[in-house]
């Protein structure tokens, strides 16, 4: 991966999967930006919208997970397993919150640890792009997102601190997304003969 050239013409399937992968990144960025914006406006509004935004984030990250192009199949298999763990955590959040994700996440700070697997999936995507195309913000995102969740779960961050942290993540993700969508589609596929 990471070849900045076209090795073979993209098939229709290649084009569709790359577009779905990138759509997942774009939607994740929009959702996190929306959550960050709402967190700065009003805590109650953020809580109400979390029940819509968080499932959307699971869907968008899932799009990137299932349509990512990796030369090494083991990495993709690992990423899918991590995503399935994150879905199990989503079920746990819904159970804890009696159907309300915001209800679960506002109950106890440590419950936010259930978002770590989802953060790991998005972080994996960011690191893959950082490794392949030198998107430094991808490495930063992969480090900051889990630390952010750990700080929230320990109760160290105030609400204001958590909002500013989410804004930082949203800005880095927006930069990452913009750089990613401006690269040619063929770069995501690379050399098909290298896949194993």
Percent of the chain with pLDDT over 70: 93
CA atoms of 63 and 83, how far apart (whole Å): 11
- For residue 25, the number of C-alpha atoms closer than 13 Å in the C-beta half-sphere is 27
Phi-psi region of 190 (alpha: psi -120 to 50; beta: other; left: phi over 0): left
Alpha-helical regions (H) of 42-189 = 43-67, 73-96, 101-105, 116-133, 136-154, 159-181, 186-189
Q: Model confidence over 99-110: pLDDT tens digits?
A: 999 999 988 999
- Indicate if the pLDDT at residue 125 is higher than 90: yes
pLDDT at 191 over 70: no
Largest CA distance in the chain: 52
Torsion angle, alpha carbons of 146, 149, 155, 156, to 10? 50
Predicted confidence (pLDDT) per residue in 156-178, tens digit: 999 999 999 999 999 999 999 99
Q: Rounded to two decimals, what is the model's pTM?
A: 0.92
Q: How far apart (Å, rounded) are the C-alpha atoms in residues 132 and 115?
A: 26
pLDDT in tens, 32-62: 999 999 999 988 888 888 899 999 999 999 9
For residue 15, pLDDT over 70 is answered with yes
Cβ neighbors of 183 (< 8 A, separation 6 or more) are 133
- Residue in this structure with the two tokens 């992969």, named with its chain if needed: 142
- Distance from C-alpha of 7 to C-alpha of 4, rounded to nearest angstrom: 9
More confident residue, 113 or 73: 113
What the block records as the tokens of 44 is 């109650």
């Amino acid at each position: 991966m990471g070849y900045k050239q076209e090795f073979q013409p993209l098939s229709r399937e290649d084009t569709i999967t790359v577009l779905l992968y990138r759509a997942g990144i774009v939607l994740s960025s929009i959702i996190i930006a929306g959550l960050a914006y709402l967190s700065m406006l009003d805590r109650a509004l953020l809580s109400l919208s979390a029940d819509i935004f968080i499932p959307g984030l699971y869907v968008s990250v899932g799009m990137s997970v299932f349509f990512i192009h990796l030369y090494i199949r083991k990495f993709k298999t690992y990423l899918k397993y991590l995503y399935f763990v994150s879905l199990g955590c989503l079920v746990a959040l819904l159970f804890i919150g009696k159907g309300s994700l915001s209800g679960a996440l506002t109950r106890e700070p440590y419950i936010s640890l259930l978002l770590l697997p989802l953060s790991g999936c998005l972080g994996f995507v960011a690191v893959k792009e950082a490794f392949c195309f030198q998107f430094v913000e991808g490495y930063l995102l992969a480090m900051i997102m889990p630390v952010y969740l750990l700080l929230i779960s320990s109760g160290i961050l105030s609400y204001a601190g958590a909002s500013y942290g989410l804004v930082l993540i949203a800005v880095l993700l927006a930069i990452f997304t913009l750089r990613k969508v401006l690269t040619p589609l063929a770069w995501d596929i690379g050399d098909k003969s290298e896949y194993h």
